[in-house]
């Protein structure tokens, strides 16, 4: 008997699986896609009894014949997933959404296996919206009806959290892939930060790394610049303020670390979900939010001049709990019995 974890494509989806699998004691099976980041995260991972990667792909942003072909592929793969669920004697399927999740989630419904859906974003994804009526449980930190409110975040982000009192160091991050517009803005902002004696930690992304380093050298500004790190919790803990995208996992990691943040949502995110993720925190006076086209040096300096770091840090500490992963794992184990 096994618990099947499915979904992915992007790090935001996969981080949920990575966070909860540490607390699951039953046999685990992962079903993902040959596309996206699924294999890089979980292929060869000894936590799983078995891993399967199907040739699934997204349907959104496709049209005409291409969309019809993608839909037919999903139903074909749902049949494959159905056979996998039977072979692995699946007792519950946990889906984090994304195109990787479609085959196994649909197969679970066909086989009447309990389906638990986790929605990471404030704007519900297309697949999760479609399958929600068939799910045993629908988990979302933004939904007041959700049986679990805490977001599944790795414990280290809570362990390294602290209340900020003084702005000494700022973290600017566009994620491991980098964000060209944030990199360009950071370089405009840097001279003003230098004048104020504020240190800079800058995650530029691997493909922009050398260019950003050279630009700081031209400005004669010392900045700690990196592309990718597995030590983001430690890096966050050293900062007193952040400027970042608002992907769900990044957002809730910043919350867990109690790091006050100005969110600049990726403008082309599906359903504008990064904007709504950040808006959820802004409505609780626990973050700042600017659209990319509103991002001006003067506006950011005004925020830095007026922020109450201590007050915002304390608010953030109350918005997430280190028990999110444990609570999700306990729910899945209960359904597994």
Instruction: Write out pLDDT tens, residues 293-333.
Output: 999 999 999 999 999 999 999 999 999 999 999 999 999 99
| Strand order from edge to edge, sheet including 27-33 | 50-54, 27-33, 2-6, 90-95, 115-119, 137-140
- For residue 70, the model assigns a pLDDT of 59
Question: Strands 224-226 and 199-203, how do they pair?
Answer: parallel
CATH code of the region 2-153+322-336: 3.40.50.2000
Is a pLDDT exceeding 80 seen at residue 53?
yes
| Three-state DSSP state, 252 | helix
- For residue 179, the model assigns a pLDDT of 83
Residues 43, 31: Cα–Cα separation, whole Å: 10
Report the predicted TM-score, pTM, of the whole model to 2 decimal places: 0.88
Owner of token pair 């950003």: 212
Residue of higher predicted confidence among 100 and 303 = 303
- For residue 253, the model assigns a pLDDT of 95
Q: How confident is the model at residue 137 (pLDDT cuts 50, 70, 90)?
A: very high
Give the fold, CATH level 3, of 156-317.
Rossmann fold (3.40.50)
CATH 3.40.50.2000 domain residues, the chain: 2-153+322-336, 156-317
Number of H helices, E strands in the chain: 14, 12
């Amino acid at each position: 008997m096994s618990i099947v974890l499915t979904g992915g494509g992007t790090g935001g989806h996969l981080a949920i699986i990575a966070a909860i699998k540490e607390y699951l004691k039953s046999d685990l099976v992962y079903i993902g896609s040959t596309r996206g980041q699924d294999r890089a995260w979980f292929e060869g991972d000894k936590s799983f009894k078995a891993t399967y990667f199907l040739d699934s792909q997204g349907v959104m942003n496709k049209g005409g014949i291409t969309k019809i072909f993608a839909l037919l592929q999903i139903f074909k793969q749902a049949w494959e997933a159905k056979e996998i669920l039977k072979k692995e004697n699946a007792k519950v399927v946990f889906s984090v959404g994304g195109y990787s999740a479609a085959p196994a989630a649909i197969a679970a419904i066909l086989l009447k296996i309990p389906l638990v859906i986790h929605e990471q974003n404030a704007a519900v994804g297309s697949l999760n919206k479609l399958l929600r009526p068939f799910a045993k449980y629908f988990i979302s930190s933004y939904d007041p009806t959700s049986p679990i409110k805490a977001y599944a975040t790795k414990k280290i982000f809570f362990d390294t959290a602290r209340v900020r009192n003084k702005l000494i160091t700022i973290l600017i991050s566009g994620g491991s892939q980098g964000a060209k517009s944030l990199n360009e803005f950071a370089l405009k902002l840097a001279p003003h930060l230098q004048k104020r004696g504020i240190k800079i930690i800058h995650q530029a992304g691997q493909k922009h790394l050398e260019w950003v380093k050279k630009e700081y050298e031209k400005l004669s500004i010392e900045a700690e610049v990196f592309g990718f790190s597995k030590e983001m919790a430690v890096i966050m803990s050293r900062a007193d303020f952040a400027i970042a995208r608002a992907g769900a996992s990044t957002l809730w990691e910043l919350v867990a670390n109690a790091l006050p943040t100005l969110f600049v949502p990726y403008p082309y995110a599906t359903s504008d979900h990064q904007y709504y993720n950040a808006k959820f925190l802004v409505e609780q006076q626990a973050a700042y939010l600017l659209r990319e086209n509103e991002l001006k040096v003067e506006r950011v300096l005004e925020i830095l001049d007026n922020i109450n770091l201590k007050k915002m840090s304390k608010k953030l500490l109350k918005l997430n709990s280190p028990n999110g992963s444990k609570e999700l794992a306990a729910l899945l184990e209960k359904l597994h019995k």
